[in-house]
């Protein structure tokens, strides 16, 4: 086991991960951290998850969501209030959108509310409406000029640790943990998130790396911030280590007083938001074989 931090591992320090998903049934992404510096080089095989891509005339943030991420059954909720579901559908006034051939919904990016609070309200109503209709997914593209709406549309997977110093009491933080010896960075991040929260994920990119010295046991420590994509949504808390876990709106997460004076944390959030708007790209894990080692290993680099 490594020393410590958000994602550490083997010789130095490895710690672990954090998640981000769209709000109230919207989008979901995951940020995690992990550490294991291992040099390699030569012929490559990209390790990349597959995900939808869309051509755009201008930079934008594309958010995909599955309507099943909404909590509960919307039609049952409406019926329990004594309101006809057909009348709700007929009188719906939400985000301007059209349906595609796959029973999905494509939101018109040109007619989005500019006020974050108004956007949050109408987004919740719209998602409930689309689930009620039986739509299977939603595509929401946010123009770069509306980047301030991202924290509203995105949720982060956060935890409260059961055993921590009084300084961190009551603070919601990103899932973290150690990467074990001989474990890949992305594997450690995925494992830690699953162990702490029960959420299955896939690795996307290493977003940032923090290098510190004389940390635990007077050793140097590497902290990897990783982007993961959630494959499940139901949280199952590790009762041995975690007090609580939940999906929290990104805007609410960053407003916690504990983080207000943390310049490094703020930079990480800036990087994450920039990634969602395609203004930043992290490091992909590429499997390669080095002539020096004679066996496969992973080289992390940005592909332009």
User: Residue 119 in 3-state DSSP?
Assistant: helix
Query: Is 133 part of a structural domain of the chain?
Result: no
pLDDT at 150 over 70: no
What's the first-to-final CA gap in the chain, in angstroms?
34
Burial 120-149 (b: 16+ CB within 10 A, else e): bebbbebbbbbbbbebebbbbbbbeebbeb
pLDDT over 70 percentage in the chain: 66
pLDDT of residue 42: 32
Residue 96 phi/psi, 5-degree rounding, is -70, 120
User: Residue 28 and residue 104: Cα distance in Å, rounded?
Assistant: 17
DSSP states along 56-80: -SS-EEEEEEEGGGSSS-HHHHHHH
pLDDT at 57 over 80: no
Query: Is 25 part of a structural domain of the chain?
Result: yes
Residue, of 86 and 123, whose pLDDT is higher = 123
pLDDT of residue 5: 27
pLDDT of residue 25: 35
Confidence of residue 138 (pLDDT cuts 50, 70, 90): confident
Calculate mean pLDDT across residues 133-143.
Answer: 80
pLDDT over 90 percentage in the chain: 30
Confidence of residue 197 (pLDDT cuts 50, 70, 90): very high
Q: Which whole-number Å values give the CA distances from 243 to 102, 105, 128, 175, 290, in the listed order?
A: 40, 37, 30, 12, 44
User: Residue 47 and residue 65: Cα distance in Å, rounded?
Assistant: 23
Range of the domain at 214: 19-60+150-301
Confidence of residue 148 (pLDDT cuts 50, 70, 90): low
pTM metric for this prediction: 0.62
pLDDT of residue 203: 95
Query: Is 269 part of a structural domain of the chain?
Result: yes
pLDDT of residue 79: 41
CATH code, 236? 3.90.79.10
Q: Which whole-number Å values give the CA distances from 162 to 5, 113, 245, 273, in the listed order?
A: 16, 40, 11, 29
Residue, of 246 and 255, whose pLDDT is higher = 246
Residue, of 52 and 286, whose pLDDT is higher = 286
pLDDT of residue 68: 43
Query: Is 110 part of a structural domain of the chain?
Result: no
Query: Is 172 part of a structural domain of the chain?
Result: yes
Confidence of residue 33 (pLDDT cuts 50, 70, 90): very low
Number of domains in the chain: 1
Confidence of residue 255 (pLDDT cuts 50, 70, 90): confident
Tokens of 205: 């990119």
> Contacts for 256-259 with beta carbons within 8 Å, 24 or more apart?
256/171, 256/172, 258/168, 258/171
Q: Is 280 exposed, middle or buried (0-12, 13-18, 19+ CB in 10 A)?
A: middle
pLDDT at 37 over 70: no
Of 27, 38, 293, 22, nearest to 188 by C-alpha is: 38
Q: Which whole-number Å values give the CA distances from 261 to 132, 170, 258, 264, 265, in the listed order?
A: 42, 17, 7, 9, 9
Residue, of 34 and 190, whose pLDDT is higher = 190
Query: Is 135 part of a structural domain of the chain?
Result: no
Query: Is 210 part of a structural domain of the chain?
Result: yes
Give pLDDT tens digits for 287-304: 999 988 899 999 999 986
pLDDT at 36 over 60: no
Confidence of residue 145 (pLDDT cuts 50, 70, 90): low
Q: What angle do CA 152, 153, 154 make, to 5 degrees?
A: 95
pLDDT of residue 84: 44
Query: Is 121 part of a structural domain of the chain?
Result: no
């Amino acid at each position: 086991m490594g020393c410590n931090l958000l994602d550490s591992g083997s010789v130095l320090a490895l710690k672990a991960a954090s998640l981000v998903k769209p709000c109230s049934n919207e989008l979901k992404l995951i940020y995690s951290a992990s550490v294991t510096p291992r040099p390699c080089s030569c012929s490559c095989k990209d390790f990349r998850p597959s995900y939808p891509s869309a051509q755009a005339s201008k930079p934008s943030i594309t958010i995909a969501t599955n309507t099943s991420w909404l909590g509960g059954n919307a039609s049952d909720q409406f019926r329990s209030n004594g309101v006809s579901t057909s009348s709700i559908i007929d009188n719906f006034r939400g985000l301007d959108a059209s349906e595609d051939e796959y029973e999905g919904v494509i939101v018109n990016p040109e007619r989005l509310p500019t006020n974050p609070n108004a956007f949050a309200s109408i987004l919740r109503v719209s998602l409930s409406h689309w689930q009620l209709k039986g739509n299977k997914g939603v595509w929401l593209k946010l123009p770069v000029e509306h980047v301030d709406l991202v924290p509203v549309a995105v949720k982060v997977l956060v935890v409260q640790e059961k055993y921590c110093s009084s300084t961190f009491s009551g603070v919601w933080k990103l899932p973290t943990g150690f990467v074990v010896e001989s474990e890949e960075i992305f594997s450690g991040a995925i494992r830690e998130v699953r162990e702490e929260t029960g959420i299955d994920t896939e690795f996307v990119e290493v977003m940032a790396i923090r290098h510190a010295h004389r940390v635990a046991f007077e050793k140097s420590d590497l902290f990897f911030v990783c982007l993961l994509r959630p494959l499940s949504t139901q949280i199952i808390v590790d009762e041995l280590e975690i007090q609580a876990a939940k999906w929290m709106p990104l805007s609410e997460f960053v407003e916690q007083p504990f983080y207000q004076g943390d310049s490094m944390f703020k930079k990480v959030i800036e990087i994450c938001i920039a990634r969602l708007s395609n203004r930043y790209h992290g490091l992909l894990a590429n499997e390669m074989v080095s002539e020096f080692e004679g066996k496969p290993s992973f080289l992390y680099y940005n592909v332009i």
